[in-house]
Amino acid sequence: MASDGFRPLDDKSLAEYIKATPSLSSKLGNQIDELQIKEVGDGNLNFVYIVTSPSGSFVIKQALPYIRCIGESWPMTKERAYFEAVTLKEHGRLCPDHVPEVYHFDRAMSLIGMRYLEPPHIILRKGLIAGIEYPLLAEHISEYMARTLFFTSLIYHTTTEHKQAVAEFCGNVELCRLTEQVVFSDPYKVSQYNHWTSPYLDRDAEAVREDNTLKLEVAELKSMFCERAQALIHGDLHTGSVMVTSDSTQVIDPEFAFYGPMGFDIGAFVGNLILAFFAQDGHADPKNDRKAYKDWLLRTIEETWNLFHKKFTALLDKHKDGSGEAYLPAIYNNPQLQQLVKQKFMSDLFHDALGFGAAKMIRRIVGVAHVEDFESIADAGVRADCERRALDFAKMLLKERRKFQGITEVVSAIQKVH
């Protein structure tokens, strides 16, 4: 393994590495002797270290050649660190307020050094479980999605620029294949990796595997995921990939990034907010019935799409005479046609997002990797009740997504299930 220059670092060897790397040691004011290193990776794939000294700090993330939570029996390309670093830099250029800065990247070592998001930043998912409201969340995440998706699409780029970028990111095939398996395949068949709250959801899991209509819809989404190089998407934009405070929202971990369908990012985020909503009853207690918090979640779901819609269409208008080749100004040359194009694009994107969001919800209930929102509900019966409502809603949304004209109708449908 060392022949390619890669070696997994531990606390001691990481300290030596930092000493020998000016772009990192300079961030600590060169006070190397007093640095503290803490391993905090709680994810499925990587080592993550927080490095602090009296005069500075950063995070080091190193990709391993296998899936950390499973071990060497499930190999995984270290090259994902390259795609993550490139995406952090590109998305950071397009939306610097909501993407942490990259200080250092070492391709041979699959290692990224980046800004440390200091406390009180926490993972959004943990904040949602705790019932904390984030008043600027929808504003910030819609800004991130609108800018990163618009400026990496053909609406802004020439086809030549776009094809070059797509070609580079085709290299991230292993992580795309992982998504294809866990989101679009495993939940719909018997798989050794699937699990659910048994025995409560045994019948529900079986029903997913026997639902022909559901499988037809999922096939369509999988084909879109694999074939539609629409924009440079984050590829894993759930509530565990966002760090927040009351006035800061930072998107992290884009190692699954590739040129794919825009609706996958939007759906992943909104779908995870819907999961958080359905989990709330499991976190309610006599002191707090979580009703007000559920209302806030529904408002946030609605605002996220509405603000995204507003910002994305504003970018469309602003750049309608630019060099983007999706809608050539010589053809789309009158206001009426421009309006029709915009409506069609946003309507299709909305339905894509609903479909992908629903698929992401289903896989978190009957697939391999679940969400803490549900897993942290101690009583299995209560947990299964929450999960079943979420699963039933997701199946309906996946199959009937084209009937919804707007996000308000989706929120009403969530309330009806509840």
Mean pLDDT over residues 357-385, rounded? 98
* Percent of the chain whose predicted confidence (pLDDT) is above 70: 99
Q: What is the pLDDT of residues 184-203, one digit of tens each?
A: 999 999 999 999 999 999 99
pLDDT for the residue numbered 200 = 98
Is residue 2 predicted with pLDDT exceeding 60?
A: no
Residue limits of CATH 3.90.1200.10 in the chain: 122-416
- With b meaning 16 or more CB within 10 Å and e meaning fewer, what string describes 197-217? beebbeebbeebeebeebeeb
Neighbours of 246 (CB within 10 A): 12
Tokens representing 271 are 């779908």
Q: What is the pLDDT of residues 47-103, one digit of tens each?
A: 999 999 999 999 999 998 887 777 788 788 899 999 999 999 999 999 999 999 999
Pairing of strands 242-244, 102-106: unpaired
Task: Decide if 263 contacts 352 (C-beta within 8 A).
Answer: yes
pLDDT for the residue numbered 74 = 76
CA distances from 399 to 190, 232, 394 (A): 21, 27, 9
Average pLDDT, the chain: 96
Structure confidence at residue 44 as a pLDDT band (50, 70, 90): low
Q: CATH top-level class for 11-115?
A: alpha beta
Is residue 406 predicted with pLDDT exceeding 70?
A: yes
Is residue 3 predicted with pLDDT exceeding 70?
A: no
- Identity of residue 32: I
Task: Decide if 349 contacts 262 (C-beta within 8 A).
Answer: yes
Is residue 337 predicted with pLDDT exceeding 50?
A: yes
CA distances from 42 to 31, 48, 195, 196, 262 (A): 28, 8, 20, 21, 28
Q: What is the pLDDT of residues 10-21, one digit of tens each?
A: 999 999 999 999
Mean pLDDT over residues 35-39, rounded? 94
Tokens representing 250 are 């930072």
Residue limits of CATH 3.30.200.20 in the chain: 11-115
The model's pTM is: 0.97
pLDDT for the residue numbered 261 = 99
Is residue 1 predicted with pLDDT exceeding 60?
A: no
Q: What is the pLDDT of residues 198-237, one digit of tens each?
A: 999 999 999 999 999 999 999 999 999 999 999 999 999 9
Mean pLDDT over residues 291-319, rounded? 98
Q: 122-416, superfamily in CATH?
A: Aminoglycoside phosphotransferase (APH), C-terminal lobe (3.90.1200.10)
Q: How many angstroms from the chain centroid is the CA of residue 167?
A: 22
* Percent of the chain whose predicted confidence (pLDDT) is above 90: 92
Mean pLDDT over residues 322-337, rounded? 97
Structure confidence at residue 43 as a pLDDT band (50, 70, 90): low
CA torsion through residues 262, 263, 269, 270, sign: positive
Q: What is the number of alpha carbons within 13 Å of residue 263 lying toward its C-beta?
A: 23
How far apart, in whole angstroms, are the C-alpha atoms of residue 58 and residue 52? 7
pLDDT for the residue numbered 4 = 80
Quote the Cα angle for 318-321-325, to 5°: 110
Q: What is the pLDDT of residues 91-150, one digit of tens each?
A: 999 999 999 999 999 999 999 999 999 999 999 999 999 999 999 999 999 999 999 999
Nearest residue to 165 (alpha-carbon basis) of 173, 174, 153, 176: 153
Task: Decide if 55 contacts 31 (C-beta within 8 A).
Answer: yes
Q: Looking up tokens 């999922």, which residue turns up?
A: 218
Residue 160, sorted as left (phi over 0), alpha (psi -120 to 50) or beta, turns out to be alpha
Q: What is the number of alpha carbons within 13 Å of residue 211 lying toward its C-beta?
A: 20
